[in-house]
Amino acid sequence: MSTDPVALVASNWRQLPPPARHVRVGLSGGLDSTVLLHVLVSLRDSLGLTLSAAHVRHGLVPGAEVWGDVCGSLCAALDVPLVVCDIQVERHHPGGLEAAAREARRAALVGLGDEILALAHHRDDQAETVLFRAIRGAGVRGAGAMRAFKAGAGVPGIWRPLLDVPRRDLLAYARAHGLSWIEDPSNADSRFSRNFLRNDILPLVEQRFPGASSGLARMGRLCGEASGLLEELASLDLATLALADSSRLLRAPALLLSSARLRNVLRSLLARAGEAMPDEDRLREIERQFREPGVVAGVQMPVGASAICVYRDCWWLESARIAPGPVALVWAGERSVDWAGGAVTFSVGVGQGIARQALAGQICALRIRAGGERLRLHAGAPSRSLKNLLQEAAIPPWRRASLPMLWVGGELAWVAGVGVAAAFCCPPDEPGVVPEWSGLD
């Protein structure tokens, strides 16, 4: 297969989902991104592209503050608009400074607009990524490495048109066209893990096994295909487990899945939530707890910012950080009130919710539980303890402390997830107010 940068970029472009027209190049000023920008400029007219570029300054390398000027001169010569962004990099990132800089740079670039973001990763980068993730035991999903195109939530996507081009071909292109570029001195520092693989390990592997980088990149593509199949299987299983009209899943059929298949579903859910994959031991421990009979009493298993939750015959993924609700606040008729990481909304209804007449002239307040509350849901029936009603409504134990309750004139009128007290129920054909809390979604 030809590795000519111009031919590959043009072919790759034609395979993008329409309407692909606006492209912003992530421009560091190094060899790779300089070549990518130059190639796209040469194809601008024939492909009908609208081009721009973005340079991110993170301040981690002494002297790097002038790199933006170098990028500016290049873009001016090529008639390409340039945006320069300054970012702060988290110094105590769990993945190290390398990962922190990479994430901050990517977030800055993706957040710039609705253009397709073109990045200059090449075949050697792909091989390095596959090897790095394989060493860490990342599994098929991790070893799948980088995709040529990845659609993003709310943005057109990330495009890597040079993944099949080895760095030597980029270097040859740059020299043939008289390009100049920035040499980042930090790339030579093998104290960083990826630099160590790039500078010290992969060259030795290539000497002993010529074509090893190409083989690693090919393995990454094959693992990507396998990962796609696993995701399709997870989607089929999640559809089977889904509880009608709910974001929750049924536990009983999940228990019938093999261990490997259940862990595949767990990985898919966590990936969709944007969580980093837990290691194999942690995932097996989550599975073990999930299968324990006692888990039906309610459990949260944190994974990053999310938690896998089980209660009775259902399970789901939610935020692990539940914001505490206020102890009490007066409701003055607002359509929405922020409450414990969600919102209590009050919509207009007819013959449903709380009778509007029952609210007239009354002091209304939202409060959390104090203990000992009772509620009568049906006229003529005895009042019942809120504790029992919450259990019957299958409200998870960890949600009960922040549950909003509406008091009207000193009487309990509504409890989120339970319902409206009989004395406040809206009669048929009468105007009413329907309260709902999004914290139980």
Residue numbers in the known binding site are 28-33
Distance CA 4, CA 170 (A): 9
Distance CA 229, CA 237 (A): 12
Distance CA 52, CA 41 (A): 10
Pairing state between β 336-339 and 419-420: unpaired
Can you read off the two tokens belonging to residue 211?
A: 């074509």
Residue written as tokens 């990053």? Answer: 304
Strand partners for 349: 432
Residues 6 or more apart whose Cβ sits within 8 Å of residue 21: 48, 49, 50
Distance CA 98, CA 36 (A): 23
Q: Are 176 and 43 in contact (CB under 8 A)?
A: no
**Residue 363: exposed, middle, or buried by beta-carbon count in 10 A (0-12, 13-18, 19+)?**
exposed
Residue 152: count other Cβ atoms within 10 Å of its Cβ. Answer: 11
Q: Are 303 and 318 in contact (CB under 8 A)?
A: no
Distance CA 153, CA 130 (A): 25
> Known binding site for ATP: residues?
28-33
